[in-house]
C-alpha cells in the first residue's frame, strides 16, 4: 500500500525536485525547511531564488518550518539532508516521526566522525530496524528531474517489500526506479563517486584532456569497487546506476557541485574561498575525509582519493598530485 502523506525533510534543490515529483505522482506532500529565512523565501516564492531558479512548486505542496507539524500523520519520510547534517535533523524529528514510518534517504555521503553510511546514521539515531530504510541513489541531478528529463535511479534496501513500495511511490513516466538489496554498495557508490568528481574537476581546471578524464573515471571506479567489496558490497553493484552511472554523470556534468569545486581548485582558488561562494553543499569535500579514513581503516589502496585528500587538506599542489599518480609503481590492470 502506498503512503498517504509524504514528508520531505530538506528544501534544497533535490528536496524541491522530489516534492514536485511525488506531488505529481498523487501523494500529499509536505516540504520541511529548518532555516527560518529560507522557509520564508520558500513560502513567498514557492521556490528559491538561488536553487532551481525560475521554478514554482505546485500549489498542492505544503511548506512547514515546524517539526511536529511536518511529521504529523507522515507514513513516509524522505531525507533530503546533506550527510553531515542528517544526524542533527533526525534528532529534531525523533520524537515526532511515527515509529512505523518508512524512511527514504537521498543523501550521498559518509559521516566524518563515525564513518557511518547514511542508513547506519538513521538506524543509530532513530533506533529503527534497517529494513525500514531505503536509499535512493543514481545519476539524478535535481536540475533535470524537475524538467521531467528521463532519469533512472536505484532504490536499495534490505527488505524487498519495502524497497518495492518505494520503487512504486517514486516511479513516473520520466523517473524510473530499479531495486537492489545491496544497500552497502549503493550507498558507497553514491558517496565515493563525489571524490572522483573532484579529481575530474581538478584535471579540467588544470586544462588536461579527455585522456586524463577517462583515466580518472575508470581507475576511480576501480578503487571505489575495491573498498566496497572489502566493506561487504557486491562488485557488480558498482557497474550499475549507483556506481558507474552516477560516477560518469557527476564527473561530466556542469550541474555537479563536486566537479565545480575541483575545477576551481585546479584553476588556483583556495578551498575556503570556493566553499564560501557556494549556496549549496558539495558533499564530496567531507566525503574525501571519510573515504580517506575508510581506506586506511580497511587497508585498501585508493590512490586517487589519497591525492585528492592531500590537495584539499594538506596543501599539496594539483600538479604534484597528478605527477604522483603517474609515477606510481607499474601494475597489471585489473578491473578492481
Strand order across the beta sheet in which 28-32 lies: 62-64, 28-32, 5-9, 76-79, 102-105, 133-137, 151-157, 175-180
Q: At a CB cut-off of 8 Å and minimum separation 6, what does 240 contact? A: 154, 178, 180, 189
The residue assigned the cell 518550518 is: 65
Q: Is 306 a catalytic residue?
A: no
Choosing from 5, 51, 108, 193, which is the catalytic residue?
A: 193
DSSP annotation string for 110-169: B-TTT--BHHHHHHHHH---GGGEEEEESS--HHHHTTT--EEEEEEESSHHHHHHHHHH
In angstroms, the CA 80 to CA 102 distance is 14
Q: Look at strands 151-157 and 133-137 and give their pairing.
A: antiparallel
The residue assigned the cell 576501480 is: 222
CA distances from 169 to 6, 27, 133 (A): 10, 9, 14
The residue assigned the cell 609503481 is: 329
Enzyme catalytic residues = 193
Amino acid at each position: 500500500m502506498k503512503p498517504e502523506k509524504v514528508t520531505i525533510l530538506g528544501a534544497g534543490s533535490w528536496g524541491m525536485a522530489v516534492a514536485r515529483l511525488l506531488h505529481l505522482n498523487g501523494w500529499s506532500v509536505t516540504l520541511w525547511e529548518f532555516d527560518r529565512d529560507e522557509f520564508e523565501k520558500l513560502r513567498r516564492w514557492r521556490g528559491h531564488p538561488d536553487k532551481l531558479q525560475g521554478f514554482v512548486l505546485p500549489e498542492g505542496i505544503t511548506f512547514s518550518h515546524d517539526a511536529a507539524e511536518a511529521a504529523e500523520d507522515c507514513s513516509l519520510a524522505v531525507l533530503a539532508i546533506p550527510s553531515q547534517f542528517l544526524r542533527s535533523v533526525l534528532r529534531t524529528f525523533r520524537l515526532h516521526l511515527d515509529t512505523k514510518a518508512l524512511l527514504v534517504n537521498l543523501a550521498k555521503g559518509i559521516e566524518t566522525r563515525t564513518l557511518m553510511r547514511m542508513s547506519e546514521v538513521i538506524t543509530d539515531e532513530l533506533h529503527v530496524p534497517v529494513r525500514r530504510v531505503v536509499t535512493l541513489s543514481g545519476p539524478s541531478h535535481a536540475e533535470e528531474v524537475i524538467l521531467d528529463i528521463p532519469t533512472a535511479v536505484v532504490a536499495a534496501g534490505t527488505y524487498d517489500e519495502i524497497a518495492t513500495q518505494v520503487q512504486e511511490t517514486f516511479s513516473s513516466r520520466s523517473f524510473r526506479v530499479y531495486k537492489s538489496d545491496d544497500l552497502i554498495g549503493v550507498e558507497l557508490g553514491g558517496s565515493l563517486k563525489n571524490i572522483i568528481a573532484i579529481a575530474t574537476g581538478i584535471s579540467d581546471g588544470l586544462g588536461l584532456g579527455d585522456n586524463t578524464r577517462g583515466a580518472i573515471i575508470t581507475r576511480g571506479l576501480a578503487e571505489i569497487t575495491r573498498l566496497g567489496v572489502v566493506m561487504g558490497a557486491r562488485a557488480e553493484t558498482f557497474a550499475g546506476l549507483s556506481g558507474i552511472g552516477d560516477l560518469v554523470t557527476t564527473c561530466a556534468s556542469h550541474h555537479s557541485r563536486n566537479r565545480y569545486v575541483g575545477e576551481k581548485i585546479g584553476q588556483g582558488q583556495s578551498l575556503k574561498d570556493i566553499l564560501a561562494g557556494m549556496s549549496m553543499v558539495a558533499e564530496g569535500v567531507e566525503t574525501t575525509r571519510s573515504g580517506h579514513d575508510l581506506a586506511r581503516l580497511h587497508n585498501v589502496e585508493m590512490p586517487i582519493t589519497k591525492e585528492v585528500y592531500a590537495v584539499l587538506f594538506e596543501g599539496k599542489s594539483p600538479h604534484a598530485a597528478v605527477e604522483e599518480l603517474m609515477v606510481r609503481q607499474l601494475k597489471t590492470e585489473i578491473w578492481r
